[in-house]
Amino acid sequence: MAAPARTRKLKVDLHIHTNLSSDGGQTPEELVETALAHGFDAIAVTDHNTVQGSLRAERHARGRIIIFPGQEVLTDSGEIVVLNLRETLPAGGGLEETVRLAKEKGGFVIAPHPFDIMRRGIGDNLNRIIGQVDAIEAFNSRTIWTRFNRRALEYAESKGKPMVAASDAHFPDEIGKTYMLVSSRKDPADILKSILAGRAELVMKAQSRSSKLMRGFRKLRTYL
């Protein structure tokens, strides 16, 4: 009889982009290799309004690292991250309707950078869906102003919601700045279950000022 899988601290990041996002600067295949080089056990590929990047990453990974199928969906009230779906959800729909659809299909819903007014966080609209949100992104490495992350953390604590930290990396050099150490078996379902149970240690490090400036130049170049 096989011994049960061992629980250990797994290095996890549930919010990363590839060049299937218009502002991403790494292929799904490059992302997998970079994540492996940084010692990650599991990542979620969450391109804007498409699940295809995560499926490509999964094929390339060939079981060497857990890849959560994911997408960052833009609703009429801001963005949500949805994991565990292998189909792309429609963008631009109502917040409640999009979350309802995601949950009906078995999705794991995260509110990313919810109070970052310089990006597309859902802000106070989070109150409308708080019962359906699985976790709140309490720290996003790309958020410029610390008060936006602090408010997300305080909100999650006030509501008793599980918290995650993520790099939101769009380029290879942003990977590994922020992540979680999740006490779990190396199994996708058990990782999410452990996060829901609060067994995730948040390792939080913001991108450097120079990195943020470089990111701005990179983003500008994608539109030229």
Per-residue confidence (pLDDT) for residue 206, from 0 to 100:
82
DSSP bridge partners of 8: 184
Helices (H) and strands (E) in the chain, counts: 7, 9
Residue 11 predicted with pLDDT over 70: yes
Structural domain containing residue 193: 8-222
The answer to whether position 96 is within a domain reads yes
Domain count, the chain: 1
Question: Which CATH number covers residue 27?
Answer: 3.20.20.140
Residue 219 predicted with pLDDT over 50: no
Which whole number is the average pLDDT over 64-70? 98
Find out whether 163 and 172 touch, Cβ atoms under 8 Å: no
- The strand pair at 78-83 and 66-75 is best described as antiparallel
Of 132, 112, 142, 124, residue with least CA distance to 23? 142
Q: What is the mean pLDDT of the chain?
A: 92
pLDDT in tens, 20-55: 999 999 999 999 999 999 999 999 999 999 999 999
Identify the sign of the CA torsion 42, 11, 89, 33.
negative
With bands split at pLDDT 50, 70 and 90, how would you rate the model's confidence at 103? very high
The answer to whether position 2 is within a domain reads no
The answer to whether position 1 is within a domain reads no
The answer to whether position 14 is within a domain reads yes
The answer to whether position 55 is within a domain reads yes
Per-residue confidence (pLDDT) for residue 217, from 0 to 100:
45
Ramachandran angles phi, psi of 138, nearest 5° = -80, -20
pLDDT in tens, 160-218: 999 999 999 999 999 999 999 999 999 999 999 999 999 999 999 887 654 555 554 44
The answer to whether position 23 is within a domain reads yes
The answer to whether position 29 is within a domain reads yes
